[in-house]
Amino acid sequence: MDFSSKLLENAVHEMAQLPGIGKRTALRLVLHLLRQPEEQTTHLAKALVDLKTEVKFCKNCHNISDFDLCEICANPNREKSLVCVVEDIRDVMAIENTSQYRGLYHVLGGKISPMDGVGPNQLNITTLIDKVKREEVTEIIFALSSTMEGDTTNFYIYKQLEDYKITTSTIARGIGVGDELEYADEVTLGRSILNRVPFENSLKS
Amino acid sequence: MDFSSKLLENAVHEMAQLPGIGKRTALRLVLHLLRQPEEQTTHLAKALVDLKTEVKFCKNCHNISDFDLCEICANPNREKSLVCVVEDIRDVMAIENTSQYRGLYHVLGGKISPMDGVGPNQLNITTLIDKVKREEVTEIIFALSSTMEGDTTNFYIYKQLEDYKITTSTIARGIGVGDELEYADEVTLGRSILNRVPFENSLKS
ipTM (interface predicted TM)? 0.82
- Comparing B45 with B176, the larger pLDDT belongs to B45
How close is the nearest chain B Cα to the Cα of A22, in Å?
13
Contacts of B38 in chain A (CB under 8 A): 52-53
* Mean pLDDT, rounded, of chain A: 91
Question: Which residue from B minimizes the CA distance to A24?
Answer: B90
Tens of pLDDT, residues A65-92: 988 999 999 999 999 999 999 999 999 9
C-beta atoms of B8 and A43 within 8 A: no
Same domain (yes/no): A164, A82: yes
Contacts of B2 in chain A (CB under 8 A): 93, 96-97
Domain region containing A151: 64-171
Same domain (yes/no): B38, B116: no
* Mean pLDDT, rounded, of chain B: 91
Question: Which residue from B minimizes the CA distance to A96?
Answer: B2
On whether residue B72 sits in a domain, the answer given is yes
Question: Which residue from B minimizes the CA distance to A54?
Answer: B7
For residue A183, the model assigns a pLDDT of: 84
Task: Measure CB to CB from residue A6 to each of B3, B4, B66 and give the nearest one.
Answer: B66
CATH code of the domain in which B25 resides: 1.10.8.420
Q: Where are the alpha helices (DSSP H) in A55-102?
A: 71-74, 89-98
For residue A14, the model assigns a pLDDT of: 96
Query: Between residues 93 and 122 of chain B, which touch chain A (CB distance below 8 Å)?
Result: 93, 96-97, 110
Q: How many domains does chain A have?
A: 2
C-beta atoms of B93 and A25 within 8 A: no
CA distance B131 to A36: 28
Ramachandran angles phi, psi of B103, nearest 5°: -90, -165
CATH code of the domain in which A82 resides: 3.40.1360.10
Same domain (yes/no): B43, B131: no
CB pairs under 8 A between A and B: 177
On whether residue A48 sits in a domain, the answer given is yes
From the number of C-beta atoms within 10 Å of its C-beta (0-12, 13-18, 19+), residue A66 rates as middle
N-terminal to C-terminal alpha carbon distance within chain A: 54
Q: What's the angle, vertex CA B87, arms to CA B86 and CA B92, rounded to 5?
A: 55
Query: Between residues 31 and 50 of chain B, which touch chain A (CB distance below 8 Å)?
Result: 31-35, 38, 40-50
Instruction: Give the residue-averaged pLDDT of A172-193.
Output: 84
Would you say residue A195 has pLDDT above 80?
A: yes
Same domain (yes/no): A96, A125: yes
Tens of pLDDT, residues B24-55: 999 999 999 998 999 999 999 999 999 999 99
Instruction: Give the residue-averaged pLDDT of B11-25.
Output: 95
Residue whose C-alpha is closest to residue B188's, from B141, B142, B146 = B146
Residue A151: CB atoms within 10 Å: 16
Would you say residue B1 has pLDDT above 80?
A: no
For residue A40, the model assigns a pLDDT of: 95
CA distance A176 to A106: 25
Same domain (yes/no): B15, B42: yes
On whether residue B185 sits in a domain, the answer given is no
Same domain (yes/no): A45, A20: yes
Same domain (yes/no): B90, B158: yes
Across the beta sheet with A139-142, the strand order is: A103-107, A79-86, A139-142, A167-170
Same domain (yes/no): B12, B83: no
C-beta atoms of B51 and A4 within 8 A: no
On whether residue A176 sits in a domain, the answer given is no
Same domain (yes/no): B50, B130: no
Same domain (yes/no): A124, A36: no
C-beta atoms of A20 and B25 within 8 A: yes
CA distance A82 to A12: 46
C-beta atoms of A18 and B29 within 8 A: yes
How close is the nearest chain B Cα to the Cα of A170, in Å?
24
For residue A182, the model assigns a pLDDT of: 84
Same domain (yes/no): A46, A134: no
C-beta atoms of A11 and B66 within 8 A: no
Task: Measure CB to CB from residue A47 to each of B10, B42, B89 and give the nearest one.
Answer: B10
How close is the nearest chain A Cα to the Cα of B73, in Å?
11
For residue A149, the model assigns a pLDDT of: 92
Tens of pLDDT, residues A31-75: 999 989 999 999 999 999 999 999 999 999 999 998 899 999 999
Residue B205's pLDDT band (cuts 50, 70, 90):
low
Same domain (yes/no): A153, A69: yes
**What is the SS3 assignment for A157-202?**
HHHHHCCCCCEEEECCCCCCCCCCHHHCCHHHHHHHHHCCCCHHHH
For residue A205, the model assigns a pLDDT of: 57
Task: Measure CB to CB from residue A38 to each of B13, B32, B52 and give the nearest one.
Answer: B52
Tens of pLDDT, residues B73-112: 999 999 999 999 999 999 999 999 888 899 999 999 999 9
On whether residue A33 sits in a domain, the answer given is yes
Tens of pLDDT, residues B63-73: 999 889 999 99
